[in-house]
């Protein structure tokens, strides 16, 4: 019997006892779906996939992994963009999938809070809360399959960050199984707590490298009762930034979304639709704006008319369309939501996830546009993203006829990503605004973060997980964690 199958047998046997005969998957046909990310870019190996049903089982499984030297890879909906939930191949690993921890433990309407387990699917959670008259505002493309544990562990963003913040802003408390197997009950639902270090912050966005998030206490909001949608065309990206300020002042806190789309991107989307464009395509930039609120006597379309009329007069925008009903609003939003699909059809599409200060969006786009177009002749460069977060996705669609091998495509993608990352960092930006580091950005992080940043990260990792048992090879290079062992702070 090989070492691997021997270890698998010991692991499965002990895990089966812990989980009372259920939820241990070890045959290739059972585990295959858990070992690959949804974009099919990363494929890993694991001795087994565990599907615990209680936090106590999670705790026992972590202790088991620790005692056997088997790495633990926390996984929730497995919808991540950077391979953070895929095991690496150079360590014996188990996937600890939290999907079966999916109870909504408590809804507190007066406190505007909910306690949801890590395996709750976002769409289900939102629906449950809607029935209770409440809004949980996190919303992103994978709403139908992403789960609370992953949203917390990647500090998810999505389209409503401008108004409601990232996942970090929505978390009141956490329950976490630590790398030593202890259960930390930090499920507070308080708005204010300064009794010691704010420990939950460590686990938000840590991508499972510091522990397994098993439940979260989350903030709720009133359901917006009035909403409105408009699309505008603009002469420049700077005009979009200026227009956002006008809305942020005149409709403070009611701007739910402010999504920019470049002309080329919009044209590509429209070429896949049979509908006619919502407005003449004679401007270089378009912004989709959503206003919503539950305020008494507040009319979003009145705000639109007032603000946009002034903006046309001052030359900030060229033209505007206000959706007169929800069907027309849906048609406008469809243009935004089919961007990925349209680009995939057109060619080999690479999307970046950088952010820069809002004041530097215009110069950032000017710089990357020039450099990318110089470097790649057989590619289209598009832009789409969240102006209010400084998070503009730079999208390069490579011509498949020209970049006709996997190798050529991967090389071009790596080069393009580096150029975009470099431009962002030089403008005090980030190489990963909302998708995290995962496997994908480990090397880029080493390149673009300061030594002091990386040392501090390694010290935290070492303090919580000295044996690097929890999701190794993610966020931080293993070499850096090892180095930290021998270095005085």
Q: Which residues, 256 to 295, sit near its own copies by CB under 8 A? A: 293-295
Name the token pair of 222. Answer: 């009133």
Please report where in the chains the tokens 């070499």 appear, as a residue. 479
Binding to its own copies (CB under 8 A) within 19-78 occurs at: none
Between 18 and 251, name the residue whose CB sits nearer to its own copies. Answer: 251
According to CB under 8 A, which one of 249, 274, 313, 325 is a site residue for its own copies?
249
CA-CA distances (angstroms) from residue 474 to 149, 206, 461? Answer: 16, 9, 11
According to CB under 8 A, which one of 302, 324, 326, 479 is a site residue for its own copies?
302
Q: Which stretch binds its own copies (CB under 8 A): 50-58, 250-258, 268-276, 412-420?
A: 250-258
Contact partners, residue 357, CB within 8 Å, separation at least 6: 390, 427, 428, 429
Q: Minimal distance in Å, beta carbon 43 to its own copies? A: 23
Between 44 and 179, name the residue whose CB sits nearer to its own copies. Answer: 179
Torsion, Cα of 126, 128, 131, 134 (10° steps): -50
CA-CA distances (angstroms) from residue 422 to 136, 237, 426? Answer: 35, 20, 6
**Residues 116, 119, 122: CA angle, nearest 5 degrees:** 70
DSSP state of 122: H
Q: Minimal distance in Å, beta carbon 380 to its own copies? A: 25
Residues in binding contact with its own copies, number by CB under 8 A: 102
What mask, x for binding its own copies by CB under 8 A, covers residues 91 to 130?
-----------------xxxxxx-----------------
Between 99 and 154, name the residue whose CB sits nearer to its own copies. Answer: 154
Name the token pair of 56. Answer: 């106590």
CA-CA distances (angstroms) from residue 122 to 50, 126, 146, 161, 244? Answer: 21, 6, 6, 16, 29
Between 9 and 430, name the residue whose CB sits nearer to its own copies. Answer: 430
Q: Does 253 bind its own copies (CB under 8 A)?
A: yes
Please report where in the chains the tokens 């409105």 appear, as a residue. 228
Binding to its own copies (CB under 8 A) within 166-185 occurs at: 166, 168-169, 178-180, 182-185
Between 191 and 314, name the residue whose CB sits nearer to its own copies. Answer: 191
What value does the CA radius of gyration of the chain take, rounded to a whole number of Å?
Answer: 24
According to CB under 8 A, which one of 29, 252, 405, 407 is a site residue for its own copies?
252
């Amino acid at each position: 019997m090989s070492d691997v199958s021997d270890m698998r047998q010991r692991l499965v046997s002990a895990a089966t006892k812990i989980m009372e005969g259920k939820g241990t998957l070890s045959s290739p046909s059972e585990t295959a779906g858990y070992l690959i990310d949804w974009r099919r870019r990363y494929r890993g190996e694991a001795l087994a996939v565990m599907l615990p049903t209680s936090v106590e089982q999670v705790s026992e499984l972590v202790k088991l992994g620790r005692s056997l030297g088997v790495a633990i890879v926390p996984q929730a909906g497995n919808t991540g963009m950077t391979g953070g939930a895929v095991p690496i191949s150079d360590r014996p690993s188990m996937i600890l999938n939290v999907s079966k921890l999916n109870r909504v433990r408590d809804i507190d309407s007066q406190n505007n809070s909910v306690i949801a387990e890590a395996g709750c699917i976002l769409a289900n959670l939102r629906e449950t809360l809607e029935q209770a008259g409440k809004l949980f505002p996190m919303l992103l493309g994978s709403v139908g399959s992403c789960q609370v544990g992953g949203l917390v562990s990647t500090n998810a963003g999505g389209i409503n960050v401008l108004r409601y913040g990232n996942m970090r802003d929505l978390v009141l408390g956490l329950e976490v199984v630590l790398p030593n197997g202890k259960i930390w009950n930090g499920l507070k639902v308080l708005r204010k707590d300064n009794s010691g270090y704010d420990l939950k912050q460590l686990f938000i966005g840590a991508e499972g490298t510091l522990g397994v998030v098993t439940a979260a206490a989350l903030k709720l909001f009133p359901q917006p009762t009035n909403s409105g949608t408009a699309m505008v065309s603009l002469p420049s990206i700077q005009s979009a930034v200026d227009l956002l300020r006008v809305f942020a002042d005149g409709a403070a806190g009611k701007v739910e979304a402010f999504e920019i789309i470049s002309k080329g991107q919009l044209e590509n989307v429209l070429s896949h639709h049979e509908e006619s464009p919502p407005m003449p395509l004679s401007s270089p930039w378009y912004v989709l704006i959503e206003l919503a609120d539950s305020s008494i006597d507040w009319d979003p379309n009145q705000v639109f008319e007032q603000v946009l009329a002034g903006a046309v007069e001052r030359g900030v925008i060229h033209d505007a369309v206000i959706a007169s009903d929800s069907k027309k609003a849906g048609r406008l939003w469809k243009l935004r939501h089919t961007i990925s699909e349209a680009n995939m059809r057109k060619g080999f599409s690479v999307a970046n996830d950088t952010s820069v200060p809002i004041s530097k969006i215009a110069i950032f786009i000017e710089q990357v546009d020039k450099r990318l177009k110089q470097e790649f002749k057989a590619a289209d460069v598009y832009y789409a993203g969240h102006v209010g977060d400084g998070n503009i996705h730079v999208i390069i669609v490579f011509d498949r006829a020209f970049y006709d091998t996997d190798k050529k495509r991967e090389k071009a993608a790596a080069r393009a990503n580096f150029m975009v990352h470099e431009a962002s960092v030089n403008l005090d930006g980030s190489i990963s605004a909302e998708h995290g580091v995962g496997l994908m950005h480990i090397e880029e992080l080493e390149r673009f973060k300061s030594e002091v940043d990386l040392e501090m990260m390694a010290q935290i990792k070492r303090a919580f997980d000295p044996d690097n048992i929890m999701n190794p090879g993610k966020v931080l290079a293993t070499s850096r964690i090892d180095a930290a062992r021998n270095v005085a702070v």
